[in-house]
Structure 1
Amino acid sequence: MTSSLTRYLILPGWQGSGPEHWQTHWQQVLPNTTRVEQADWQHPDPHAWIDRLEHAITAEPTPVILIAHSLGCITVAHWASRSKARSLAQVRGALLVAPADVERENCPPALQGFAPIPQQPLPFPSLLVGSSNDPAASPQRAIELSQSWASHSVILEQAGHINVSAGFTHWSGGFRYLYQLQHFIEQQARQRA
């Protein structure tokens, strides 16, 4: 799928990704994969989450591909909007699955500190995968975010929040989106060559 010199970083959302979550499965089957662990999954602090992501990226000099879910997607956007060029250059791309709209009317109080959502284009290729019935972000909102972030987007039909409660455990079919992201990364590399 990608060079053995590339690392995958898994970024769970609020409350983490438990043992049945697809992110946990992917962490077990993808080579060179680690999870960005947070000190407090229940009461997320945006500054702490961004700092943990920065540390995970810069802990090794190898390039990374980010695989984010829910609040993890919003963390990526915040990190990218304030990180230094050297750290940004390490990220080859990001798969952003079911981003949580922390600006929505019924947003849980624990997530509201992540608002407002950065609107700047991400400086690396990205693919946003949303759902037609995600309670955390309407399909229209997911598309708006993908446009703001200059991400490619896919909206799945009736996939909920693309988590365990919506039936997404191993989610082997999701690897197709990781392959698509890899294709976008290779396209951009060719354009820059």
Structure 2
Amino acid sequence: MDRPVYLLPGWLNSDPAHWQSEWERRHGDHRVEQNDWEWPRRGDWMARLDDVLQQDTRLARQPALLVAHSLGCQLVAAWADHSAHTRRVAGALLVAPPDTERDDTPPQLHNWRPIRRPRLPFPAIVVASSDDPFCRAERAAGMAADWGAEFVLAGPLGHLNTASGLGAWPEGRAMLRRLVD
């Protein structure tokens, strides 16, 4: 991939066996580190993403791709609704967005309510599983529609994380390439 790729993990970060960590090792993608992975504050995460994208001088001539997992998807939507720097992003792959409006959402994630649903100012693909324990496929499809994103139902793969056994997840990388081809 000839443009910068930023990885946006979800709540508690992506462990070493997660496909995002694999992409970081294999492809040199850049993980956006957050100050607090356990009690994520939406405003803090948005500010961090904005800072990272503003500091990368390459993005003025070649916008980045964002690759979000779980709560990282909600981060992209909230950030895009607020930031004046969305032109620094060429597209986003949003994998396994969680439904933070569910009654059983952990209290650490309550400040991510309501889910931001603006139309994204860049192309996006939302990938969801038919049996994700944190979001029904219908809810994920609704988020994708609101965000103006293509929706891909990946089948019964859980939360599309380490437990899903995706390894380097070449199918996901192919979707990422489609965003810029």
Shared fold, TM over 0.5: yes
TM-score where L is the length of structure 2:
0.94
Which whole-Å CA distance do the structure 1 matches of 2:122 and 2:171 have between them?
24
Q: Across the two proteins, how many residue pairs are aligned to each other?
A: 177
Q: 53-62 or 171-180: which moved more?
A: 171-180
Aligned Cα root-mean-square deviation (Å) = 1.1
- Structure 2: gaps of 5 or more residues: none
Residue 170 (structure 1) shift: 2.1
Match of 2:88 in 1: 90
Which whole-Å CA distance do the structure 2 matches of 1:168 and 1:42 have between them?
24
Cα deviation digits, residues 138-186 of structure 1 (max 9, x gap): 1100100000000001011101100011222322232121122223xxx
Which whole-Å CA distance do the structure 2 matches of 1:88 and 1:103 have between them?
25
Cα deviation digits, residues 47-100 of structure 1 (max 9, x gap): 11111111111111322100000000000100000111xx11110000000011
- Structure 1: gaps of 5 or more residues: 184-193
Match of 1:8 in 2: 5
- Is 1:73–2:73 an aligned residue pair? yes
Match of 1:34 in 2: 30
1:20/1:170 contact within 8 Å kept:
no
Letter in 2 for 1:23: Q
TM-score where L is the length of structure 1:
0.88
Which whole-Å CA distance do the structure 2 matches of 1:79 and 1:173 have between them?
26
Which whole-Å CA distance do the structure 2 matches of 1:40 and 1:134 have between them?
24
Which whole-Å CA distance do the structure 2 matches of 1:49 and 1:175 have between them?
24
Which whole-Å CA distance do the structure 2 matches of 1:182 and 1:26 have between them?
17
After the TM superposition, list the runs of 4 or more consecutive aligned residues in structure 1 that deviate by more than 6 angstroms.
none
- Is 1:104–2:121 an aligned residue pair? no
Which whole-Å CA distance do the structure 1 matches of 2:42 and 2:166 have between them?
26
Which whole-Å CA distance do the structure 2 matches of 1:80 and 1:10 have between them?
16
Residue in structure 1 matching 2:112, options 97, 111, 114:
114
**Paired residue secondary structure (1:96):** strand
Identity of aligned residues (%): 40
Which whole-Å CA distance do the structure 2 matches of 1:135 and 1:108 have between them?
13
